[in-house]
Amino acid sequence: MEGLLYLEDGTAFIGKGFGKCATKVGELVFNTSMTGYQKILTDPSYKGQIINMTYPLIGNYGINETDYESTGIHAFGLVAREIAFKPSNNKSVMTLAEWVEIQGIPGIRSVDTRMITKKIRDEGTIKSVISTEGISLKEAETLCGEAVLRQDWMKEAGAGAPRQIPGDGCKVAVLDFGIKTSILRALAAKGCAVHIFPYGTTAEEILAIRPDGVFLSNGPGDPAAAEAGIQTTRGLIGKTPIFGICMGHQVLALAFGGRTYKMKYGHRGGNHGVYDAGTDRASITSQNHGFAVEEQSAVAAGLTVTHKNLNDGTVEGLRHESLPIFSVQFHPEASPGPNDSAYLFDRFLTLMNC
């Protein structure tokens, strides 16, 4: 089966296809993680995106029953230099290729992923077509030209209805933009009773359960398109402690009157250095975002910058000057080797004081 990756500027990569015989149009991004492909593909924050993995061999430990961030794959496609068809792991229940096919996602291998990564770094993320259906370059060009990339995936990436995870500790209300299972596990591990609310829930509905704190989750898309989420967050400010991660961090900044902007190629991987001004220490963090908070707008809105990215100086953390509210751009629950950032969940519990 032939695989085709066609970029909006006319660049085409032809390799071998795997997974589902299908065609998808999405935003082409790259991820630098060496492991964690199952978690990456099931992370709702990747909805609408085609992921180019920079590490040359993907799938060598197969697919297991536990490394899920949601019930299925949210990414629109997978690009790899090489994939393993004979995984070595006693927990493996199927190969990556088998799983991707079951999930209905096309993949392409045996292409120069370094060249693709360099192109994205030079020119930015780009609308692309991934196909394993044998379509022509002309057909791919037409599909790519006609498609409009959605920016509001957060409206459907999360829970469709309220649900709960029981616990004896703090009552945490989660506003779900497309939350990762690892975050819910981290909150549950602290004993929290977690109440998950879908996108569009009002501040009044959340406050009606009398939460000890509110968590704003990660999610896909442009944070500025999350109008309802921003409005809900505004209604929660000053009423309860708030902790935001990734999309939640950006929505929080927008709710205070800050601004966000689209990055050239974003941060996606498990090796991003972040400096914490409060502890005067650096951490290695896991990240997945294509937008960032504009620093001066956040400061003008009464927020203090607490964390910065050591590679490009972008804002990685905020806290309010007087209210029990803080957020980070990275994923402290992901633990890409070290557990450097796990203390942030303890900080949230301290603010809730329960």
Catalytic residues: 246, 331, 333
Whether the CB-CB separation of 39 and 28 falls below 8 Å is answered with: no
Structure tokens at 192: 């929290």
Whether the CB-CB separation of 223 and 248 falls below 8 Å is answered with: no
Cα angle 30, 34, 40 (rounded to 5 degrees) comes to 60
> Which H/E stretch holds residue 171?
strand 171-175
Closest CA to 12 of 101, 150, 108, 121: 108
Distance in angstroms (rounded) separating the CA atoms of residues 317 and 272: 14
Check residue 119 and report its DSSP letter: H
Cα angle 114, 127, 48 (rounded to 5 degrees) comes to 100
In one-letter notation, the amino acid at residue 157 is: A
Please, which contacts does 282-285 make with residues 24 or more away whose CB atoms are closer than 8 Å? 282/310, 283/338, 283/340, 283/341, 284/336, 284/337, 284/338, 284/340, 285/316, 285/330, 285/331, 285/332, 285/334, 285/336, 285/340, 285/341
Structure tokens at 301: 């809105």
Cβ neighbours of 186 (radius 10 Å) = 21
CB contact set of 343 (below 8 Å; sequence gap of 6+): 332
Is 286 strand, coil or helix? strand
State the alpha helices, DSSP H only, in the chain.
37-42, 96-102, 113-123, 137-146, 154-157, 181-189, 203-207, 227-236, 247-255, 295-300, 343-352
Evaluated on CA atoms 209, 191, 285, 279, the torsion sign reads: positive
